[in-house]
Amino acid sequence: MRRYARRTAARPPSVSARIKEPARTLELSCFLRYCLLTATDQIIFMFQRRVADLWRQCADGVAALDWAQQYQQLLQQISDLTADDAVPDAELRASLRNLVASSRAQRPPTRASVTRQRLIDAIAPVRSLLAGVSRLPWQATGGHPVLDALHRLRVAYAGGTKRLPAEVGALRLGPAWREAIADPDRERAFKAMEVATLSRCAGRCAMARSGSSIH
């Protein structure tokens, strides 16, 4: 197909007009299909590039958890508890047990979770891109959560709504987004669904040319 398309593009129109059928129709069909696929590849690349840039901007400056600093804070708290000699031993042991229990139960945010929160706050500049993507004629071999999310976004954008209904759950957009989409703040939950859908679309677009389940 590429061969026929390039041969047509490199030939003057006057020469192409003298090509007889069915070769002329075959070359023209290959040319049009090749142009369509090339343009689609370029759009997919631009879409993935924009999503990658957004993720990189939000991830920039997010530092990994400093466990040494956490350890030093724990030592300082233990030193403060044991500094007072007037505290009874039983009370001191109870305080130390509570401190250790609270330290073990503490789950500091990971770098990825902080980046996701930044993405939710930064979704507004790329909302127009997502609105355009939601209007594309996506298809799938079966029920797909991304299609469901795109449909909901398309309806919301058409109605000017930026608030996720309370009955809408996580939409199976990934366990990383489940808590954010279930946020009681339904406006922020709507943003989380936008980011999750944008990320899933970027991943699925890469598979669109290989006969995946969604295209």
Q: Is the pLDDT of residue 90 over 80?
A: yes
Q: How confident is the prediction for the chain on average, in pLDDT?
A: 79
Mean pLDDT value of segment 53-63? 80
- The proportion of the chain whose per-residue pLDDT surpasses 90, expressed as a percent, equals 0
Give the residue with greater pLDDT, 124 vs 140. Answer: 124
pLDDT of residue 165: 82
Q: Is the pLDDT of residue 106 over 70?
A: no
Please write the tens of the pLDDT for every residue from 136-148: 787 766 667 788 8
Q: How far is CA 180 from the centre of its chain?
A: 13
pTM, two decimals, is: 0.64
DSSP letters along 195-215, please? HHHHHHHHHHHTTGGGT-SB-
> Alpha-carbon distance 197 to 202, whole Å?
9
Residues 6+ apart with CB under 8 A from 111: 59, 62, 63, 64, 65
Q: Which range, 25-39, 65-79, 102-116, is most confident?
A: 25-39
Per the DSSP assignment, residues forming a β-bridge with 140 are 214
